[in-house]
Amino acid sequence: MDISVCIGSACHLKGSYDVIKEFQELLKEYKLEDKITLKGAFCLNHCTEAVSTKINDGEVISMNVDKVKSLLKKVAEENKWNI
Ligand code: FES
């Protein structure tokens, strides 16, 4: 599974770096590094909802640092991964 975080200018200003850092830390903590590949993406055309993030080719999600944990928990639950 790929999770792409937009690093375009609007999202960068809204903190994509921090969102990516949070993802990296939690992927490690939950041992999901072999299941989820974190990627940087260029503008996903949802700049007003920065920080834009998407799972595989799914819909663009408006992400912030506080939402990373619940997103990962939801993904793990849907895939029946024990974290
Ligand atoms: S810069 Fe991230 S959606 Fe446009």
What would the pLDDT profile of 48-78 be if each residue is shown by its tens digit? 999 999 999 999 999 999 999 999 999 999 9
Give the neighbor-by-neighbor strand order of the sheet with 60-62.
37-41, 2-6, 52-55, 60-62
- Rounded Cα gap, residues 13 and 80, in angstroms: 34
- Pocket lining: 63 vs ligand 1, CB cutoff 6 Å: no
Name residues whose C-beta falls within 8 Å of residue 10's C-beta, 6 or more positions apart in sequence: 43, 47, 48, 50
For the chain, which domains are there?
A: 2-78 (3.40.30.10)
- Pocket lining: 61 vs ligand 1, CB cutoff 6 Å: no
What would the pLDDT profile of 1-56 be if each residue is shown by its tens digit? 999 999 999 999 999 999 999 999 999 999 999 999 999 999 999 999 999 999 99
pLDDT at 30: 97
Q: Rounded to two decimals, what is the model's pTM?
A: 0.95
- Pocket lining: 50 vs ligand 1, CB cutoff 6 Å: yes
- Rounded Cα gap, residues 65 and 23, in angstroms: 8
pLDDT at 67: 98
